[in-house]
């Protein structure tokens, strides 16, 4: 699971959960894999990202490095910044671990890099 996916997931469809966001990450196995870098695309993607959630997620798995916690101005022209954003959004990969609902503590396993968000019938 890449951090862009984490940025988009919620547990709000669970019974009794109102926001369910952001999910906490408990990573067991994290790796990075190289993905082709497209600066134009990354700058189009950034406005759709919850930047605070991304930075907290990156920090929680030990990959924040020197990514600025505040979005910088004119980032679309800053290739160095876009590269760092690209790495955190698309290259850091949680292979095994858990996502945790912030309201109920319900755990969702991540195996083989795929989060399992399925709920039991009595949880819907």
Partner 1 sequence: MSLPTPIYDLKQFDSVYEPSEDTFLFIDALEADLEYIHSLRPSCILEVGSGSGIVITSLARHFQTQCLFFATDINPVACLCTKQTAYLNNVVVHCTNMNLYCNFKSIFDIILFNPPYVCTEDSEIKPGINRSWAGGRDGRIIIDQFLSQLKLFLSDSGVCYMVALKENKPYEIMATMKVLGFNSCIIKERRILGEHLFVIRFIKEGNLK
Q: Which residue ranges make up the site for partner 1 (CB under 8 A)?
A: 1-2, 4-5, 7-13, 21, 35-38, 41, 44-45, 48, 90, 112-119
Query: Minimal CA–CA distance to 92: which of 53, 66, 117, 59?
Result: 59
Residues 29, 61: Cα–Cα separation, whole Å:
9
C-alpha radius of gyration, the chain, whole number: 15
To partner 1, the closest distance from the beta carbon of 118 in angstroms equals 6
Q: What six digits make up the tokens of 15?
A: 């019974």
To partner 1, the closest distance from the beta carbon of 16 in angstroms equals 15
66 or 75: CB nearest partner 1: 75
To partner 1, the closest distance from the beta carbon of 73 in angstroms equals 21
To partner 1, the closest distance from the beta carbon of 51 in angstroms equals 14
Query: Minimal CA–CA distance to 87: which of 55, 52, 60, 47?
Result: 55
13 or 28: CB nearest partner 1: 13
4 or 71: CB nearest partner 1: 4
- Point out which residues pair with 2 in neighbouring strands: 93
Q: What six digits make up the tokens of 14?
A: 């669970």
67 or 117: CB nearest partner 1: 117
């Amino acid at each position: 699971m890449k951090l862009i996916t984490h940025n988009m997931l919620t547990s709000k469809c669970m019974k009794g959960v109102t926001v369910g966001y952001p999910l906490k990450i408990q990573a067991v196995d994290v790796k990075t894999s190289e993905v082709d870098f497209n600066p134009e695309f990354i700058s189009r993607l950034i406005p759709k990202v919850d930047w605070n959630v991304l930075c907290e997620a990156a920090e929680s798995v030990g990959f924040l490095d020197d990514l600025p916690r505040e979005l910088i101005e004119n980032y679309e022209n800053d290739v160095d910044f876009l590269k760092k954003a690209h790495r955190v959004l698309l290259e850091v990969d949680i292979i095994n671990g858990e996502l945790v609902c912030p309201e109920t503590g319900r755990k969702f396993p991540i195996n083989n890099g795929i989060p399992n968000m399925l709920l039991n019938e009595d949880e819907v």
